[in-house]
Structure 1
Amino acid sequence: MSRPSAPPPGYDDRNPLYPPPAGGYPAAYPGGYPGGYPQPQPQPPPYSGDVYGGGGVSGEDATFSAADWDDRKVRHIFIRKVYTIISLQLLITVAIIAVFTFVEPVSSFVRRNVAVYYVSYAVFFVTYLVLACCEGPRRRFPWNLILLTIFTLAMGFMTGTIASMYSTKAVIICMIITAIVAIVVTVFCFQTKVDFTSCTGLFCVLGIVVMVTGIITAIVLAFKYVYWLHMLYAGIGAIAFTLFLAYDTQLLLGNRKHTMSPEEYVYGALKIYTDIVYIFTFLLQIVGSRD
């Protein structure tokens, strides 16, 4: 049987079983349709206002606003987690420095056995490379926290060894200055509109300058101590790591050109903690040399 090529006359897509009557459907009845069915009421237009009666926001904008709110909430949790870890790291480091500085037998042992410094530096360097360069270990729990703990202990021993070479007065003064610098830089980064993350190339050059200056200083001081060169290197290092602290802090905020992923809380703590400790060690070289 062949199929018709066109629908029969009077065919209506809305109800193919009942074609519309001649002359079309009647107008709506005032009291509703026959049979007691109520007359359909007009539906209100899609909502486009604010919940509290504010300015109109389209549905797409409302979706993006909710997404932005979720992003901010995740970022705030991320920041709190990072600074909690940093606080624990600094407490451990300060405790190790206090033991190495105020306990005379420990201080004397460290000064006589410089190998403690080199061993702690080797452990610090290896764990830093693993956490900084390998995404898997630093994101996988609990290995990321285990590696970060080893890194913190190694850097604490290394810093404590350095602090044992200086007077107690110089160590306390440098701790206070470092705390003030860290707080001021953090507050400044949270308030300023200056975007340090947009100057990535400049910070790369600054890091190269610090590294080259450090190599030259180490070679020269190995043969002859030059006071002004040592102070120049310490001053450049203190300024450079203060700027690095500002850069790394803004990476955490998430409202700049470059940001840090909320999954990288271990890496964020690693960076800021290292910046603060290096600021302390460079200030110790400057202040301690005057004792």
Structure 2
Amino acid sequence: VLSVQLSLANKADESSNGEAFVAPVPPTYEEAISGASAPCYNDIEMLTEFTWDDVNIRRVFIRKVYSILMIQLLVTFAIVALFTFCDPVKDYIQNNPGWYWASYAVFFVTYLTLSCCSVPRRRFPWNLILLAVFTLSLSYMTGMLSSFYNTKSVVMCLGITVAVCLVVTIFSFQTKFDVTSCHGVLFIFCMVMFISGVVLAIVLPFRYVPWLDATYAVLGAILFTMFLAFDTQLLMGNKKYAMSPEEYVFATLNIYLDIVYIFSFFLQIFGAKRD
């Protein structure tokens, strides 16, 4: 303060001697910070470091999801093979449909719990226990459905499902097209499928229409193929929308459900019923 007062006094003396007082020009931002010490990390280093960490987290997340998914698919494949190739088991489940409806109830409850409740979905080990119960119930339903079809048809539909899922996964990882931005189209498609399903539930019990059933199955296969691409890109995390790395159970649940539904619709399209 004293130095400022002395400076003003000197300026006043100079002005009293006949010289005009001119206010000092404030320094520019670059001049003001020119003497400041440099930060520990510049923006590029921080960005590189954080990007590197995010990529590692995303890779661990993807690896965890596909590891759990492989276990789910192996369990489902084993149950489908058992119900298809083992005649005593096949006869038992076909003669006792109550187990199917019980597994459907378990499937519905566990699916709602994992989809709507974030606490059990994220809390270990309850999230994996619920996911295991969900996998077993849906595998039983898929196995019972497969038992009514010819063995060669089941094997062929399994092969088609594997090929389609592999192509869609590679496409989702390689393409620049953002499927996650098309959620409105998927919602409209779901509404069309819902209304079509209600119409089929009313019409088919009175009279079976093969082409109507086949058309519905084709639309369902297309819809869940699109959902598989959508969920795969959510898993990648480099598009408009991304899945949180904490939601590995929910991501696994969605992709597994897409694959099972694709197989079921292919079985409905290409499968030949047993005599």
TM-score (norm 1): 0.80
Report what 1:68 is aligned to.
Answer: 51
Pick from 108, 113, 116 the counterpart of residue 130 of structure 1: 113
Report what 2:220 is aligned to.
Answer: 237
Between the aligned partners of 1:207 and 1:168, the Cα distance in structure 2 is 31
Shift of 1:199: 1.1
Pick from 227, 232, 236 the counterpart of residue 210 of structure 2: 227
Please give the secondary structure, in 2, of the residue aligned with 1:234: helix
Give aligned pairs, total.
Answer: 244
Please give the secondary structure, in 2, of the residue aligned with 1:223: coil
Report what 1:288 is aligned to.
Answer: 271
Mapped contact 2:150–2:271 kept (Cα < 8 A): yes
Between the aligned partners of 1:6 and 1:97, the Cα distance in structure 2 is 91
Mapped contact 2:83–2:146 kept (Cα < 8 A): yes
Please give the secondary structure, in 2, of the residue aligned with 1:276: helix
1:183 aligns with 2:166: yes
1:144 aligns with 2:124: no
The structure, 1 or 2, with the larger RCO (C-alpha pairs under 8 Å, 6+ apart) is 2
Shift of 1:290: 7.4
Pick from 228, 231, 243 the counterpart of residue 248 of structure 1: 231
The one-character-per-residue Cα deviations of 1:72-120 (angstroms, maximum 9, x if unpaired) are 1000000000000000000000000011001101111122222222111
5+ long unaligned stretches in structure 1: 11-44, 49-57
Pick from 196, 200, 204 the counterpart of residue 217 of structure 1: 200
Between the aligned partners of 1:156 and 1:222, the Cα distance in structure 2 is 26
One-letter amino acid matched to 1:203: L
* Higher helix residue share: 2
TM-score (norm 2): 0.84
Moved over 3 A (4+): 45-48
1:257 aligns with 2:250: no
Please give the secondary structure, in 1, of the residue aligned with 2:239: coil
One-letter amino acid matched to 1:274: L
Please give the secondary structure, in 2, of the residue aligned with 1:231: helix
Mapped contact 2:149–2:273 kept (Cα < 8 A): no
Please give the secondary structure, in 2, of the residue aligned with 1:160: helix
Between the aligned partners of 2:273 and 2:154, the Cα distance in structure 1 is 12
Mapped contact 2:150–2:272 kept (Cα < 8 A): no
Between the aligned partners of 1:114 and 1:226, the Cα distance in structure 2 is 24
Report what 2:147 is aligned to.
Answer: 164
Between the aligned partners of 2:273 and 2:219, the Cα distance in structure 1 is 18
**How many percent identity over aligned positions?**
53
1:270 aligns with 2:249: no
Between the aligned partners of 2:205 and 2:115, the Cα distance in structure 1 is 30
Shift of 1:187: 0.4
Moved more, 275-284 or 210-219: 210-219
1:24-35 equivalences under 5 Å are none
The root-mean-square deviation of aligned C-alpha atoms, in Å, is 2.1
Mapped contact 1:116–1:161 kept (Cα < 8 A): no
Shift of 1:219: 2.0
Pick from 91, 103, 114 the counterpart of residue 97 of structure 2: 114
One-letter amino acid matched to 1:204: F
1:208 aligns with 2:191: yes
> Cα gap change, 1:248/1:157 in structure 2, threshold over 3 Å: closer, same or farther?
same
